[in-house]
Chain A
């Protein structure tokens, strides 16, 4: 495909030297399949010296709780890549993860608090 020429759009935009598929070792899905685009993560104290800069960029955004989708948007990374990178960081103890959205039991109490929150807006 013409747009896949070396130094194509992605690399040009992000000034990236390492192709995305190399960064994530060719993985296309996170090992932890609970990772959802709404899952929130937070950086944990850990020695970051061995991390590549792309991973450090992710961690830098995670000083406060942030969702996978937000990370992707801020870092201009496709969602799949973001998910895999977050998965790698979580596995290695760099990131803590909140409850996975698809595992949350939507109960009346949770909905009640969402309702109250919306009414306060």
Chain B
């Protein structure tokens, strides 16, 4: 990166063509602000978290909210440690994680395939569009009892729920992506007499990847929702079921602790998808910033 910047300064035609970049470099204060902006989230997030926990503790110990409604942060922490040390919770984590990942994987593969086909075959997309819209607006979690009847209380019904929820954002994004291949880029490949396979490999796939990832980022969040709601309504195991069990036992600290675990799991999965994106499409604006 720095090599490029250095070389750019030497290049003869940059000064007139790139006033924005030229204005950026010599201005030290501006650069300081950029650096500050970059690190700001890492400073602000812990502060916000502290304020939240502080406010929480304040509500419990000063205002005196009942601990059945709002257990103290420390109680939740103790409960969380108990859960993780006790060991049983790891099985539940594993089950929920398994449901989310398998459902998401199916959604990714099928969503990409269906999206690619519908993006290419215009008449087919026209034909199934009303059905797609109908399926999309239906609140899909309403189907969970049906899936439980069909596939039982085990993991299958949750995998299907996670998969269905993750499928739509992925499929729709891929459909859009396949259609958004730049016409000028297509002209380049056609002008070179490129084969269909070469066009797919060098042009269509890389230019659709950002859309696949955009869908996957939403999809992984939806898959977590699907699995948990599935466990809430018709589960015998998994973190969602543990939430319901804690509720039935009126164990508020454990209830909060499991929710913290779920939040952590969701965040980590999302981070994993984003990290994969960063590794796979480092060239894309969503990764590299919109500076140019």
Partners in one complex: no
